[in-house]
Amino acid sequence: MDHRSQGRTGSRPGRRHRPAPRPRARRRPRGGQARGSADDLPGRLCGGACGRRPRSRRRGDPQGRRARGPLGRRGPARQQAGRGVTGHAAPGPGRRAPEAGPPRRFSAQTGYAPAGADDGDPELDEALALVNEASARAGSGPDPSPGGRVPDPAHQPSPATDTGRAQAGPTQPGQGPHAKKHHHPHAVTWPEARTRAARAGRRTPRRETGKVALDAALGQILATPLTALTDLPSFDTSAMDGWAVAGPGPWDVRAEAILAGHARPRPLADGEAVRIATGARVPQEATAVLRSEHGTTDDKGGLHPQREVVHGQDIRPRGQECRSGDQLLPAGSLVTPAVLGLAAAAGYDELEVLVRPRAEVLILGDELLTEGLPQEGLIRDALGPMLPPWLRSLGAEVIAARRLGDDAKALLKAVKESPADLVVTTGGTASGPVDHVHPTLRALGAELLVDGVQVRPGHPMLLARLPGDRHLVGLPGNPLAAVSGLLTLAEPLLRRLSGHPAVEPYHAATRDEIHGHPHDTRLVPVVLRGDEAVPLHYNGPAMLRGIAASDGLAVVPPGGAKPGQELEILDLPWALSPLTPEGCFT
């Protein structure tokens, strides 16, 4: 019997099967941003550059999800039994957190649900406590404030930008007594900034492609379809350990055995059987494989079936999975560990991938130390360690990260001569005496595509097109403002440049009220708890404490958000996949 013909007429899962849509959890996809349906984007796996859609998997499994997130790594909970999020001592109005500088104003617009409203996950509670109040160390008692709310450092009015905001309460864009002009007259809205960044990436000429060895291809994007170089399986294969049999039993068993890796065995004669291992070549004329547990042998070498033998059973016919030349995956697919396995099985030693966009990071600021404790007005550089792996997780190859101080000439030379597709600067975006980014761009004749964004933190961020089809993203120096710039401008740009599919936005309801900026979008670190987003404090522009404990950033529209309001969530690239020293595999 020819099992090939059986294989050919059977189903071809690689071609016909379309995965069932995943259940959606609190998400309102906006068709405009996704590049295709879930079905035709096999690369959607990761929260980073690849644009996976992870949250639907979380429904019903919040524990599993958190176990892999930052909260899950926090070790044994110190939470006392029965204490909820707000069970931790939290400063009430006028009370002062120990390292918080001047006394903070109590914000009634943010904070946490009353004690008891929480369902008491100790790990989450511990992490929330760590990033939501600092008064436990100050020895304050239980929170006497209404609703157990704690002050939010981000809501302290900054002299330059936020005067009066804390008292103003949620305000509609452009309304209310505290409405004021922007410092950046050209600032665009947050969605517009993202659109412009994506468009800039789209307009850049198509990326080069290159062949890379399989073990170097992880996280890259296939430049050409993955086409089978062989039939799979490439020969009729036994699916079980047992006997290959020809015709109806009982059978005479041959003396030899056929193991996986053996050369082509002799054909079977009708009434003959031969011992065979899983993965071994099935001899010609075999009609079935009888599992070892379904047959008995007598002392004359006869084999007797213990149950009915169905024609073709436990034989994987050649070409069952694919025929040589079948398209296994389209161009544009993300190379995941599973894709590496499939490519190897299908005969590949190397893959044709899109060359990653090259990024160079230029860290500005004379005040930065690279080691030791902050001292005498100098501070540690928080962005040098943070940006290169983050950019890698967004699909870039980081070719260099350099500290330039506040040297305008050095900056001009570095930007002019950088071979990178994307230059990322940090600091120097505002209008201080040593803020050299704008003058540098002017000197280079760069085109400012985004010059300020109506978003907090990070509003002075910018995006420019440099001569030679290169781009520059200017991140503000404040570390959380830099993250905001990274996700607002660098992420959409790199996604386009690297060929990763656009992220399909998803939404989660905020558990708590979030104070809004009167005119600007706010990006607020949140942890995801089931289908809810729990906003974290320590979300001020200069703080990384909130984001370091978070799963993502909630996009809070101007005016703020009420409890239960659905907010777009920007995933952090590592939210679902463990990190390696090289970063998330995208």
3-state secondary structure of 116: coil
Cβ-proximal residue to ligand LQZAQKY5, closest one: 477
Q: Which does 430 bind (CB under 5 to 8 A by kind): ligand MOO, ligand LQZAQKY5, none?
A: ligand LQZAQKY5
> What string of DSSP letters covers 501-518?
PPPPPEEEEESS-B---S
Residues 173 to 192 in contact with ligand LQZAQKY5, rule: CB under 6 A: 183
Nearest to 52 by CA among 40, 42, 61: 42
Q: Which is nearer to ligand MOO, 520 or 531 (CB)?
A: 520
Closest CB 155 distance from ligand MOO, rounded Å: 12
The H or E element spanning position 408 is helix 408-417
Contact by Cβ (8 Å): 218, 392: no
Contact by Cβ (8 Å): 546, 131: yes
Nearest to 425 by CA among 407, 520, 192: 407
Contact by Cβ (8 Å): 110, 535: yes
Q: With CB under 6 A as the contact rule, which of the stretches 55-63, 188-196, 442-450, 455-463 interacts with ligand MOO?
A: 455-463
Interatomic CA distance for residues 283 and 250, integer angstroms: 18
3-state secondary structure of 305: strand
Q: Which does 201 bind (CB under 5 to 8 A by kind): ligand MOO, ligand LQZAQKY5, none?
A: none
Residues 256 to 315 in contact with ligand LQZAQKY5, rule: CB under 6 A: none
Q: Does 485 bind ligand LQZAQKY5 (CB under 6 A)?
A: no
How many residues sit in the footprint of ligand LQZAQKY5 (CB under 6 A)?
A: 28
Q: Does 431 bind ligand LQZAQKY5 (CB under 6 A)?
A: yes
Q: Does 515 bind ligand MOO (CB under 6 A)?
A: no
Closest CB 477 distance from ligand MOO, rounded Å: 8
Among 70, 295, 305, 458, binds ligand MOO (CB under 6 A): 458
Q: Does 460 bind ligand MOO (CB under 6 A)?
A: yes
Non-local (6+) Cβ contacts of 500 within 8 A are: 43, 49, 50, 51, 221, 334, 395, 494, 586
Q: Does 456 bind ligand MOO (CB under 6 A)?
A: yes
Among 46, 342, 420, 481, binds ligand MOO (CB under 6 A): 481
Q: What proportions of the chain, in percent to the nearest 5, are helix, strand and coil?
A: 25, 25, 55
Q: Does 365 bind ligand LQZAQKY5 (CB under 6 A)?
A: yes
Q: Does 457 bind ligand MOO (CB under 6 A)?
A: yes
* Beta strand residue intervals within 393-498, DSSP E: 397-405, 422-426, 447-451, 453-456, 462-466, 470-475
Q: Which is nearer to ligand MOO, 478 or 510 (CB)?
A: 478
Non-local (6+) Cβ contacts of 197 within 8 A are: 449, 450, 463, 488, 489, 490, 491, 492, 493
Q: Which is nearer to ligand MOO, 357 or 476 (CB)?
A: 476
Q: Does 476 bind ligand MOO (CB under 6 A)?
A: yes
Q: With CB under 6 A as the contact rule, which of the stretches 96-104, 297-305, 418-426, 453-461 interacts with ligand MOO?
A: 453-461
Q: Which does 9 bind (CB under 5 to 8 A by kind): ligand MOO, ligand LQZAQKY5, none?
A: none
Block residue for tokens 């030791």: 372
Q: Does 385 bind ligand LQZAQKY5 (CB under 6 A)?
A: no
Binding mask 61-80 for ligand MOO (x = CB under 6 A): --------------------
How would you classify the pairing of strands 315-316 and 237-238?
antiparallel
- Spell out a b/e string for 295-325, using b for 16 or more CB atoms within 10 Å of the CB, else e: beeeeeeebebeeebeebbbbbbbbbbbbee
Nearest to 508 by CA among 538, 475, 534, 474: 534
Token couple for 451: 């010059």
Token couple for 155: 């809501």
Closest CB 445 distance from ligand MOO, rounded Å: 26
Length reported for the chain: 586
Q: Does 382 bind ligand LQZAQKY5 (CB under 6 A)?
A: yes
Q: Which is nearer to ligand MOO, 104 or 323 (CB)?
A: 104
Q: How many CA atoms lie within 13 A of 267 on its CB side?
A: 7
Among 90, 273, 353, 363, binds ligand LQZAQKY5 (CB under 6 A): 363
Q: Which does 28 bind (CB under 5 to 8 A by kind): ligand LQZAQKY5, ligand MOO, none?
A: none
Closest CB 90 distance from ligand LQZAQKY5, rounded Å: 27
Q: Does 546 bind ligand MOO (CB under 6 A)?
A: no
Q: Which is nearer to ligand LQZAQKY5, 181 or 206 (CB)?
A: 181
Which residues of this protein are in contact with ligand MOO, per CB under 6 A? 456-460, 476, 478, 481, 541
Q: Which residues bind ligand LQZAQKY5 (CB under 6 A)?
A: 160-161, 183, 363, 365, 367-368, 379, 381-383, 426-432, 435, 457, 459-460, 476-479, 481, 541
